C-alpha cells in the first residue's frame, strides 16, 4: 500500500480529507505564493505530495507517542504545509505566535509539553540556547535538523476522527497561567461550512494573507477557507501599506481579511489624498459619494461604476471583497469602502467558536452591525438588567469542547451547550450589534452602564482622531467611575491642515482635540460624557493581532485624580 492510499484510507471527514478533495479537483492550480508573489509557488498537487511525505514521517514509530506538534513561523507557504502535515498524521497542531518574546515562546513550549515542532530557520538559534531542546523540523534544506529528514521514515498506521482535537490555541497567559482552547476537526469544518453558506468563494479568488496565521481568524478565513474553495493564497511581504498595495496590484488580489486598524489606516490615507486634491475634484468626490449613498439606501450599489477610477488609482481595482474582524470597526469606515464600490463585510467571532459567529453578507449589510449569525449556529442574549442588551450566547457545531486541562473554566464558559462569550450585544432587525465587553463596562456613580466602545465610536468619527481608547477612572472619595479617553491624533492630517511646522505643536493639537471631545459629548447623555482626555503621539500598544491592550490603559487611569 502506498503512503498516499494508506493516509486516504484512514482519514474520514477531517480537515486533511477536505484538502485532498481540493487537491484532486484543482491539482494544477497555484495554492501558495511566497513573498508577495515574488517567491516560490506551490500547486495544490505539489502541496499534497509534500504533506504526505512529511506526515508519513510524523506517523513513524519515532513520533508515535507525540500527540501534539508545535508550529512556529512567520506567514509563509511552509507554515501551511506543516499545518496540514501534522493533521494528516492524526496529530494536533500547537501554533505559536512568531511575534512573541523569547521567554514567552519558551513558556508555551514548556507548558504545552510538546516534544517536536516545525520552525522557520530564523528561530533555530533560539532553541540552541535551551538546555533540553525539543526535536526540531526546520523549514529549510540547509539545516542539520531540516524537516526533509521526516520524508525518509516509514509510517505506522493511525486512526483519525472528526472528533480529534485539530489545534490547541493559546489565547492568553503567555507568561502566566494560560488559557488553551481546543478545536476539533468537526468544529473547524462546521465553521467553514457556515462561512461558505454565507459568502461564496471559488477557484478564481486570490487571497492576500496578512494577519498572523497562528490566530484562528486568519487560519480559518485566510487559509482554510480559500484552500477548500480551490483559491490561491499570496503571503504578503509585510504590514507596510505601500508593500500591501504593491502585492495586491501585482497579484490581482480579490479577497483580503484584515483587522480594523489596517482598514482605518487605509481609510485615513485615502481621505488625506482626497482632501489634498484640487477643489473641483473634492467637490466631485463629495457629489458622487452622496449619490452613491442615496443609491445604497434604495438598494442600488452605484459605487462600482462611479468610483472605478479612484479604486484603480489606489491600486485596488482587482479587489472584490474586504473582510474585517478581530475587533470593533468604526461604521464610517465600512460605509466609506462600500460607497466607493467595494464589498466590505464586518464580522464577529471568537477563538472558542472556530472563530466566525456572524457576518454581514452581500446585499444584507447594516453599517455598525456584525451581521446575522451563520446559518448553522444559534445565537441568543442572556438579559443584563432591564435593557435589550445582553450577554451573547452561542450554540452549534463550531463551539469548542473546552479548555485543555481546565475543567473549571470549561464548566464556567460552556453551560448546557451554550458558550457564554462575555460580549454584550443585542439584535435589531435580525442583525447582531455588539455594545462591548462585559469586563470593559464602566459603572457610573448612579450605577448606570457606560459602554466605552460607544464613546470611542463617536470620537473616531472625527478625521483628526487616528486611535482612541476609553476606560473608567475612579475619583478619590467618590463612588463609581467616569469615562476618560486616551487619544492618538492623525499627525499627517494636522500637518496637511496647519503646516509642517505646526503638526507637532501640542497647543494646536490639544485645542482641536478638545473641540472633538466637546462635540462628541454633546451627542451623549450627561452620565456618558467623557470627563477628561490625554493625548499621545505614538500608537496604542496592541497584540500581534492588532487588538488594543486595553488593560494597560485601564490600569494607567484607574486611580488618577
Task: Using alpha carbons, list the distances in angstroms from residue 324 to 37, 46, 96, 544.
Answer: 23, 31, 23, 16
pLDDT reported for residue 5:
32
The DSSP bridge pattern shows strands 30-33 and 431-437 to be: unpaired
**Alpha-carbon distance 452 to 457, whole Å?**
9
Under DSSP, the state recorded for 13 is S
In this prediction, residue 83 carries a pLDDT of: 98
Query: Strand pairing partners for 428?
Result: 431
Q: For every one of its 561 residues, what pLDDT tens digit does the chain have, with 9 covering 90 and above? A: 333 333 333 335 899 999 999 999 999 999 999 999 999 999 999 999 999 999 999 999 999 899 999 999 999 999 999 999 999 999 999 999 998 889 889 989 999 999 999 999 999 999 988 878 899 999 988 888 999 999 988 887 667 788 899 999 998 655 557 789 999 999 999 999 999 999 989 999 999 999 999 999 999 999 999 999 999 999 999 988 889 999 999 999 999 999 888 898 899 889 988 988 999 999 999 999 999 999 998 999 999 999 999 999 989 999 999 999 988 888 899 999 999 999 999 999 999 999 999 999 988 999 999 999 999 999 999 987 667 889 999 999 999 999 999 999 999 999 999 999 989 999 999 999 998 877 787 877 666 778 888 898 889 889 899 999 998 888 665 667 889 999 999 888 888 787 766 556 788 899 999 999 999 999 888 888 998 999 998 888 887 777 788 878 877 776 554
How large is the C-alpha radius of gyration of the chain? 25
**pTM, entire model:** 0.84
Q: Please give the pLDDT value at position 176.
A: 59
- Strand, helix or coil for residue 90: coil
In which element (H, E) is residue 443 found? strand 442-443
- Dihedrals phi, psi of 92, to nearest 5 degrees: -105, 135
Predicted confidence at residue 9, as pLDDT, reads 32
The b/e string for 537-551 (b: 16+ C-beta within 10 A; e otherwise) is eeebeebebbbbebe
CA distances from 172 to 16, 100, 177, 178, 255 (A): 28, 12, 8, 6, 29
Q: Residue 102 burial (CB < 10 Å; 0-12/13-18/19+)?
A: exposed
Amino acid at each position: 500500500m502506498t503512503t498516499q492510499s494508506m493516509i486516504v484510507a484512514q482519514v474520514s471527514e477531517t480537515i486533511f480529507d477536505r484538502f485532498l478533495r481540493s487537491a484532486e479537483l484543482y491539482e494544477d492550480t497555484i495554492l501558495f505564493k511566497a513573498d508577495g508573489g515574488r517567491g516560490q509557488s506551490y500547486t495544490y498537487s505539489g502541496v499534497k505530495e509534500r504533506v504526505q511525505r512529511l506526515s508519513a514521517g510524523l506517523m513513524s514509530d519515532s513520533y508515535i507517542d507525540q500527540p501534539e506538534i508545535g508550529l512556529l513561523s512567520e506567514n509563509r507557504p511552509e507554515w501551511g504545509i506543516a499545518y496540514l502535515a501534522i493533521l494528516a498524521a492524526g496529530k494536533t497542531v500547537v501554533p505559536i505566535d512568531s511575534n512573541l518574546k523569547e521567554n514567552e515562546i519558551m513558556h508555551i513550549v514548556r507548558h504545552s509539553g510538546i516534544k517536536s515542532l516545525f520552525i522557520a530557520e530564523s528561530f533555530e538559534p533560539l532553541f540552541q540556547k535551551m538546555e533540553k531542546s525539543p526535536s526540531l523540523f526546520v523549514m529549510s534544506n540547509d539545516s542539520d535538523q531540516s524537516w526533509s529528514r521526516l520524508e525518509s521514515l516509514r509510517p505506522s498506521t493511525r486512526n483519525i476522527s472528526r472528533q480529534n482535537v485539530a489545534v490547541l490555541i493559546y489565547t492568553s497567559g503567555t507568561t502566566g497561567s494560560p488559557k488553551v482552547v481546543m478545536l476539533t476537526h468537526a468544529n473547524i469544518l462546521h465553521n467553514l461550512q457556515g462561512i461558505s453558506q454565507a459568502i461564496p468563494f471559488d477557484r478564481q479568488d486570490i487571497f492576500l494573507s496578512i494577519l498572523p496565521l497562528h490566530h484562528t481568524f486568519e487560519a480559518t478565513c485566510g487559509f482554510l477557507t480559500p484552500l477548500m474553495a480551490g483559491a490561491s493564497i499570496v503571503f504578503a511581504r509585510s504590514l507596510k501599506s505601500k508593500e500591501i498595495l504593491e502585492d495586491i496590484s501585482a497579484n490581482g488580489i480579490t479577497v483580503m481579511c484584515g483587522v480594523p486598524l489596517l482598514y482605518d489606516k487605509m481609510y485615513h490615507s485615502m481621505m488625506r489624498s482626497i482632501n489634498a486634491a484640487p477643489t473641483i475634484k473634492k467637490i466631485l468626490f463629495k457629489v458622487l459619494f452622496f449619490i452613491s449613498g442615496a443609491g445604497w439606501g434604495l438598494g442600488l450599489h452605484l459605487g462600482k461604476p462611479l468610483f472605478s477610477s479612484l479604486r484603480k488609482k489606489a491600486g485596488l481595482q482587482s479587489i472584490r471583497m474586504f473582510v474585517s474582524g478581530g475587533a470593533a470597526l468604526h461604521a464610517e469606515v465600512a460605509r466609506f469602502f462600500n460607497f466607493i464600490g467595494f464589498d466590505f463585510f464586518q464580522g464577529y467571532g471568537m477563538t472558542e467558536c472556530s472563530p466566525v459567529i456572524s457576518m454581514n453578507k452581500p446585499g444584507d449589510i447594516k453599517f455598525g452591525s456584525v451581521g446575522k449569525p451563520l446559518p448553522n449556529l444559534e445565537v441568543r442574549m442572556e438579559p443584563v438588567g432591564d435593557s435589550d442588551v445582553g450577554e451573547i450566547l452561542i450554540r452549534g457545531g463550531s463551539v469548542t469542547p473546552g479548555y485543555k486541562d481546565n475543567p473549571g473554566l470549561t464548566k464556567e464558559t460552556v453551560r448546557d451547550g451554550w458558550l457564554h462569550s462575555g460580549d454584550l450585544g443585542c439584535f435589531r432587525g435580525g442583525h447582531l450589534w455588539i455594545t462591548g465587553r462585559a469586563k470593559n463596562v464602566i459603572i457610573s456613580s448612579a450605577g448606570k452602564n457606560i459602554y466605552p466602545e460607544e464613546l470611542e465610536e463617536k470620537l473616531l468619527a472625527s478625521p483628526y482622531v487616528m486611535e482612541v481608547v476609553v476606560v473608567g477612572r475612579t475619583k478619590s472619595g467618590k463612588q463609581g467611575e467616569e469615562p476618560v479617553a486616551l487619544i492618538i491624533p492623525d499627525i499627517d492630517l494636522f500637518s496637511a491642515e496647519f503646516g509642517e511646522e505646526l503638526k507637532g505643536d501640542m497647543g494646536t493639537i490639544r485645542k482641536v482635540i478638545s473641540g472633538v471631545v466637546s462635540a462628541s459629548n454633546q451627542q451623549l447623555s450627561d452620565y456618558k460624557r467623557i470627563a477628561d482626555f490625554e493625548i499621545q503621539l505614538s500608537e496604542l500598544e496592541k497584540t500581534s493581532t492588532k487588538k488594543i491592550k486595553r488593560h494597560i490603559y485601564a490600569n494607567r487611569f484607574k486611580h488618577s485624580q
